[in-house]
Amino acid sequence: MRSNLGFFSDEKFRSIFFQTLVVGLFALGLFFVISTTSYNLEKRNIATGWSFLQNPAGFDISFSPFLEFKSTDTHLKVYFVGVLNTLLVSITGCIAATILGFILGIVRLSSNWLLSRLVYIYVEFSRNVPLLLQIILWYSILIQLPRVKQSLQVLDVFYISNRGLYSPRPIFESGFSYVLIAIVLALISSFLINRWAKKRQDKTGQQFPVFSSSIGLIFIVPLILFFILGSPLSFEHPELKGFNFKGGLVIRPEFIAMFLALSIYTAAFISEIVRAGIMSVSKGQREASAAIGLKQTWIMRLIIIPQALRVIVPPLTSQYLNLTKNSSLGIAVGYADLVHGFGGISLNQTGQAIECMAIVMATYLSISLTISFFMNIYNRSIQFKEK
Amino acid sequence: MNEMNEVRKPPVATTGIIGWLRINLFFNWTNSLITLFVIYCLYQFIPWILDWTIFSADFKYNYLGEQITNQEMCSRNLDPENGGACWAVIYVRFYQFIYGFYPKAEVWRVNVAYVMLALALLPLLYAKLPYRKYFLYFTYIFPVIAYFLLNGGLGFTEVSTNKWGGLLVTLVLGCTGIALAFPIGIMLALGRRSKLPVISMMCTLFIEFIRGVPLITLLFFGMVMLPLFLPEGIDMDGLIRVLVAVTLFQSAYMAEVIRGGLQAIPPGQYEAAKSLGMSYWRMNLLIILPQAIRISIPPIVNTSIGLFKDTTLVIIVGILDLLGIGRGTLADTNWLGLSYEIYFFVSLVFFIFTFGMSRYSLYLEKKLKTGINMGAD
């Protein structure tokens, strides 16, 4: 076929031509944006650079459970407090959402019509109402709790009020590190026992009570050690002084609202994923395992769940990613996470919009990539292994 | 012989209502116990919630028969024993919830736009509509009409977007975001699968970047950084800046969904189209995309539900959508403390839209499944 366009009809030439064109246009656009931006910045007297990170922040952060934060600390510290708060609510939220989601997904498949309908209603309601609305709603419920003076008392040690949940703070004394070492050792040895028992069962068919022996190792041995060392742990109880509690461990309502809303919202999605995963396991598997005389709970644990996990894990990963990204909504209730603390208050105080937003976006990207990386490793470990 | 032919009925206990109850609610004693427990909880909860929302609630008048104009007149604030929800706040502020601060004299324009939106959606949602072709023409020109109708121009007086609010903003953001993200998403999906390495890399980077950061950071980007990127004199409207962010966000998600559809097209389709001498664009437009989009309609609807819910995030950058109007009402001393009523109402509106969309997506999935099976047979 002849073409009057000459060498333009050559595929190789065309591909190079278009790609050069795109790169050229992109570079041109970038140049335009950079030059206008630097002009605009100059006009507004904003100096670019990272030196603002060393300046004192000048504001307080109400919730910083891991780092002590004072208003004289730097913006860099605001960033670290924000990252830790984002990670705290994301990790606790993911754990709670997974547990709740699995339970609800299994209950949704229960043979009891009423129960499964109830879960269905819950799932539809929490999936179809915007998360931001749910966060604000939980927060408005929590701040309508009684004032500090009339706070609700649970078990004589927890106080619930509109300022949050006050609980005793554990104080670790000198000998407690031995107990921690014992717990870590127990965890490692029960992991090794599990591997050994599996190998032995594969070879000889003999079973070993892995579960009960692990429980014994992890809980009872450290507990005995704890009492031998003379209980090296005491609690600092919160005390009402003036208008507020002094001492103790406080969990702020902002965190509780975020935690509840994120985990309840995501659990609805996870329960649907779990349901679809369990339903993807063919009926024959259940019948076959019943035919060889396995108990109902064992069928679930040994046959159904391992196969369902292969279907469940990829969408579960994206739910974890969503939950982490959604934790940025904490700004609506004043939870001092990455977006609220560093991307919000620090940005407004310093005016370094480009730098702050770049750092915040890069941090979220790295968190997302890390979650994907680990979930991909886990996913590979549970997929079919062909021998 | 006669007796052998006689058809025996199944035992009573496995059929009919009693059978259904036995199998689904009282199969064994644990099951029965659970059922009784759930019924007990519902018995405690349902009358209370019905009483609060309907029977002891105020709709327009309180229990003394006065018309309610502020929260102090709500029955439950006059007499805590005697009253449930105070829906009068919704009644009084209904205009703001639906139109924001749109001038009352011009509000007919919004109403016309709402009706036209329904008409424009009709041919998209219902494939068997008579005269669908002509309806579709209307759908294509609807955005232009809606722009002039809502914003002004062409003889209509201008209504600046800071007067828009409530459901109007929610619908404008949702519909425009979805409509603009669709073509951009298709281009990104094609770009990501392109054989040209530079284009494929750029599209992949864009999609993965947008999907890796939260929407709120993109909204901040639109609000704080976009003005810095533009030359002097170009002053972008707040709503448009938010729309840019929402569209970028949605197009990345749309691209991934459409890419899934593209991957499901067997390579034979590409080869057949190429062997007919079709160019890249003709092949995609006539052969590949119609099939790929057809398969990906249910997930497209699902991401659209996600976007519709995410439009609430604009309240963080100061745009008053439905939820924003709700919060604004709560900040008014006249309606202090009515948070449950307001959040309930806003949730209900969102629920109606998103639940409707998700039901529609299920219906499509069912229809698509039967369609494909018929094709295979």
User: Nearest Cβ partner of B230 from A36, A124, A364?
Assistant: A36
Do A194 and A105 reside in the same domain of the chain?
no
B positions 83-142 inside 8 Å of A (CB): none
Q: Report the pLDDT value the prediction gives residue A385, as an integer from 0 to 100.
A: 67
Q: What are the chain A neighbours of B209 within 8 Å (beta carbons)?
A: 361, 365
Superfamily (CATH H level) for B89-102+159-376: MetI-like (1.10.3720.10)
Tokens found for residue B118: 């329904």
User: Nearest Cβ partner of B38 from A118, A127, A365?
Assistant: A118
- Rounded Cα distance between B221 and A353, Å, is 9
Is residue A316 scored above 70 in pLDDT?
Answer: yes
Number of domains within chain A: 2
Is residue A268 scored above 90 in pLDDT?
Answer: yes
Query: Which residues, in sequence order, are CB contacts of A179 under 8 Å at separation 6+?
Result: A222, A225, A226, A229, A232
B positions 318-377 inside 8 Å of A (CB): 323, 327, 339-340, 343, 346-347, 350-351, 354-355, 358
pLDDT-derived band at B352 (thresholds 50, 70, 90) equals very high
Q: Is the dihedral of CA A32, B247, B209, B195 positive or negative?
A: negative
- Which segment of A50-64, A320-334, B155-169 scores lowest on mean pLDDT? A50-64
Query: Which residues, in sequence order, are CB contacts of A332 under 8 Å at separation 6+?
Result: A132, A135, A136, B315, B316
Is residue A264 scored above 90 in pLDDT?
Answer: yes
Unique residue bearing structure tokens 């057809």: B294
Asked whether the beta carbons of residue A19 and residue B198 sit closer than 8 angstroms, the reply is: yes
Domain contains A53: no
Q: Which domain holds residue A303?
A: 75-155+252-382
Beta strands at A244-246 and A239-241: parallel, antiparallel or unpaired: antiparallel
**What are the pLDDT digits (tens) for A83-137?**
999 999 999 999 999 999 999 998 988 888 888 899 999 999 999 999 999 999 9
Domain contains A136: yes
Q: Which long-range contacts (CB under 8 A, 24 or more apart) does A376-384 make?
A: A376/A317, A378/A313, A379/A313, A379/A314, A379/A317, A382/A306, A382/A309, A382/A310, A382/A313, A383/A310, A384/A310
Q: What are the chain B neighbours of A131 within 8 Å (beta carbons)?
A: 309
Beta strands at A249-251 and A152-154: parallel, antiparallel or unpaired: unpaired
Supply the DSSP symbol for A55: S
Is residue B376 scored above 50 in pLDDT?
Answer: no
Beta bridge partners of A159: A153, A166
Is residue B194 scored above 70 in pLDDT?
Answer: yes
Interface test with A, best of B22, B76, B211, B228 (most A CBs within 10 A): B228
Q: What are the chain B neighbours of A130 within 8 Å (beta carbons)?
A: 309-310, 312, 323, 350
Domain contains A316: yes
Average pLDDT over all residues of chain B: 85
Q: What are the chain A neighbours of B24 within 8 Å (beta carbons)?
A: 111-114
Is residue B202 scored above 50 in pLDDT?
Answer: yes
Do A213 and A290 reside in the same domain of the chain?
no
Is residue B183 scored above 90 in pLDDT?
Answer: yes
Domain contains A258: yes
- The whole-angstrom distance between A269's CA and the closest CA on chain B is 12
Do A198 and A340 reside in the same domain of the chain?
no
Do A267 and A129 reside in the same domain of the chain?
yes
pLDDT-derived band at B374 (thresholds 50, 70, 90) equals very low
Average pLDDT over all residues of chain A: 84
Query: For residue A86, with 0-12 CB atoms within 10 Å meaning exposed, 13-18 middle and 19 or more buried, which class applies?
Result: buried
Tokens found for residue B152: 């002004």
Q: Report the pLDDT value the prediction gives residue B377, as an integer from 0 to 100.
A: 31
Tokens found for residue A251: 């969990």
Cα-based distances in Å from A302 to A198, A310, B123: 13, 14, 50
Rg (CA), chain B: 27
Q: Report the pLDDT value the prediction gives residue A93, as an integer from 0 to 100.
A: 94
Asked whether the beta carbons of residue A37 and residue B228 sit closer than 8 angstroms, the reply is: yes
Is residue A228 scored above 60 in pLDDT?
Answer: yes
Asked whether the beta carbons of residue B228 and residue A343 sit closer than 8 angstroms, the reply is: no
- Which segment of A188-202, A316-330, B61-75 scores lowest on mean pLDDT? B61-75
Do A290 and A211 reside in the same domain of the chain?
no
Q: Report the pLDDT value the prediction gives residue A292, as an integer from 0 to 100.
A: 92
Asked whether the beta carbons of residue B202 and residue A26 sit closer than 8 angstroms, the reply is: yes
**Beta carbons of A102 and A274 less than 8 angstroms apart:** yes
Is residue A239 scored above 90 in pLDDT?
Answer: no
Domain contains A137: yes
**What are the pLDDT digits (tens) for B1-36?**
455 567 777 766 667 777 777 777 777 788 888 888
Q: Report the pLDDT value the prediction gives residue B3, as an integer from 0 to 100.
A: 56
Mean pLDDT of A138-162: 80
B74-102 residues labelled b (16+ CB within 10 A) or e (exposed): bbbbeeeeebbbbbbbbebbeebbbbbeb
Is residue B115 scored above 60 in pLDDT?
Answer: yes
- Strand segments (E) across chain A: 152-154, 158-161, 164-167, 169-172, 233-236, 239-241, 244-246, 249-251
Give the whole-number percent of chain A exceeding pLDDT 90: 25
Interface test with A, best of B213, B235, B307, B365 (most A CBs within 10 A): B213
- The domain locations on chain B are 2-88, 89-102+159-376, 108-158
Is residue B373 scored above 50 in pLDDT?
Answer: no
Do A258 and A231 reside in the same domain of the chain?
no
- Rounded Cα distance between A89 and A323, Å, is 9
Q: Report the pLDDT value the prediction gives residue B375, as an integer from 0 to 100.
A: 36
- Rounded Cα distance between A336 and A356, Å, is 15
Do A269 and A372 reside in the same domain of the chain?
yes
**What are the pLDDT digits (tens) for B30-79?**
888 888 888 898 898 898 888 888 888 788 777 777 777 787 777 777 77
**Beta carbons of B168 and B174 less than 8 angstroms apart:** no
Of A209, A236, A263, the last residue of a domain is A236
pTM equals 0.86
CATH of the domain at A149: 1.10.3720.10
**Beta carbons of B335 and B329 less than 8 angstroms apart:** yes
- Rounded Cα distance between B199 and B197, Å, is 6
**What are the pLDDT digits (tens) for A158-172?**
788 777 788 777 777
Mean pLDDT of B305-332: 90
- Rounded Cα distance between A34 and B227, Å, is 13
Asked whether the beta carbons of residue A36 and residue B197 sit closer than 8 angstroms, the reply is: no
Do A124 and A259 reside in the same domain of the chain?
yes
- Which segment of B7-11, B96-100, B237-241 scores lowest on mean pLDDT? B7-11
Mean pLDDT of B336-357: 90
